[in-house]
Amino acid sequence: MRTVPYFINDERVDGEGDLLVYNPATGEVNAHVPIADAQLVDNVVAIARNAATTWSNSSLSQRTNVLFTLRQLLVEHADEMAAIITQEHGKTIADAKGELARGLENVEYACGLIEHLKGDFSSQVADGVDVHSVREPVGVVAAITPFNFPIMVPLWMTANAIASGNAVILKPSERDPSAAVRLAELLKEAGLPAGVFNVLHGNADTVTQLLEHPGIDAISFVGSTPVARHVYLTGTAHGKRVQALGGAKNHMVVLPDADLDIAANAAINAGFGSAGERCMAISVVVAVGDVGDKLVDKITERMDRLTVGPGDDATSDFGPVITKEHRDRIVNYVASAPSDGITVVRDGTSWASKPGFFVGPCLLDGVKPGMKAYDDEIFGPVLGVARVATYADAVAMVNANQYGNGVAIFTRDGNAARLFSREVTVGMIGVNVPIPVPVASYSFGGWKNSLFGHSHIYGPEGFAFYTRAKVVTTRWPLPSESQIDLGFPRTR
């Protein structure tokens, strides 16, 4: 049985495989994953700190060359990377390639590091005094990434961190870690010096060691809200800069004037793509006014045409969820929905009896705040429909939710969309766009319990997070004030 290696100081390093990686489409064990102990964490942090000292002094052109080469290598190995992701995560090949493409956007953005790391200069702020600022790397960054995007989220973090001159220790999800190791190999091939990028595997104890280690300067995390809160509190208590992105309950508000065919298509794609295992997936469609029945009919009609199957089958619209335990959790939400007064319009839980970790598409009508199917982040192919009377009711529902990651509104009314964008307390908003993940030149992140710390991920805020500002105030003596004769003419 294969054991996924660490990647330390430019080398694959074997370890004891205690954790299991499954193929979610079959339920079979794919590999074992080692757990880094405290001694190994100490060793890797020391390697990273040593490498960061050299890398932070590298030229910006050298860093740019590495990133341009990495981008080309990722393009050349796209099929290979997608296959690795599909085998361990279960998402379709098309989804895996889409994930890689969104990660590549951030690599391309980071290639502009010469512009992103520019400082400011002010001349003659006082008599003979100039001031300028520079941005310098923070040092060693621990990147702790989730299972649902095993290549995109690491690229969201590490491209900017490396471009800024930091060393990175990536701790990928133990459920699908192989893409991270392959990324490390491609970074080595791209010319990144040894020790600047390392991959450690492990469990919650390994994460705690990184959060508390005095040699780690910054923590980037994406995961569930309870863990994000823990990461933020623990990391900051140990003096680290922390960005921790948590969970979500994303709404899609459909106004009475919306094109319902477009809205139904969007609900299908955003609700069931990647088996709903996206932090930006739409999990609640909010039908405003009298559109509920028509919208449910259109969504149901499209759901009935979806194909569920292995990710490497080109006919599959979406694949399995990540583990048996997660599958069973999703099934329990659907099974308990009628006791809350919810109508189960489509029940895809019969797929749970098949080999692998499959759940078919599920549609729940009549979800409301206070019901578990509404309040909790189910993180699966379960779409809820909430019905409200007015636009104001829809805004109130969105704003009352504990999460504030993403929201979408479907309407033909530009003023309604404008008001909605101003009134909702959510970090990312889509107007007739169901999954409003910003392009790489803007930053990604939510509000409320979807983000702990003030910094969003990637884009301009990513570069700001991975660097520290330094301000230099300069005054040079006039030639006439110098005690050394430099040959300058002196005024009489």
Catalytic annotation, residues: 279
Query: What is the SS3 assignment for 470?
Result: strand
Which position has the token pair 């509404």?
374
DSSP string over 415-428 = HHHHHHHHH---SE
Contact 213, 41 (CB under 8 A): yes
DSSP string over 154-213 = HHHHHHHHHHTT-EEEEE--TTS-HHHHHHHHHHHHTTPPTTSEEE----HHHHHHHHH-
DSSP string over 301-324 = HHHTT--B--TT-TT-SB---S-H
Q: In this structure, what token pair is assigned to residue 355?
A: 């080999």
Buried/exposed 389-403: b ≥16 CB within 10 Å, e otherwise? eebebbbebbeebeb
Measure the CA–CA gap between 152 and 256, rounded to whole angstroms: 36
Which residues are within 8 A (CB) of 80 and not within 5 positions of it... i.e. 6 or more apart?
Answer: 182
Judging by DSSP bridges, how do beta strands 343-346 and 362-365 pair with one another? antiparallel
Q: In this structure, what token pair is assigned to residue 344?
A: 């189960």
Element containing residue 44 per DSSP (H, E): helix 38-55
| Helix (H), strand (E) counts: the chain | 16, 23
Please tell me what DSSP assigns to residue 140. E
Please tell me what DSSP assigns to residue 299. H
Question: Cα 127 from chain centroid?
Answer: 48
Sign of CA dihedral 450, 319, 384, 263: positive
Task: State the alpha helices, DSSP H only, in 337-390.
Answer: 372-375
> Taking Cα atoms as reference points, which of 383, 376, 380, 373 lies closest to residue 358?
380
Contact 388, 394 (CB under 8 A): yes
Buried/exposed 421-442: b ≥16 CB within 10 Å, e otherwise? eeebebbbbbeeebbbbeebee
Angle, in degrees to the nearest 10, between helices 38-55 and 204-212: 50
Phi, psi for 102 (deg, rounded to 5)? -70, -30
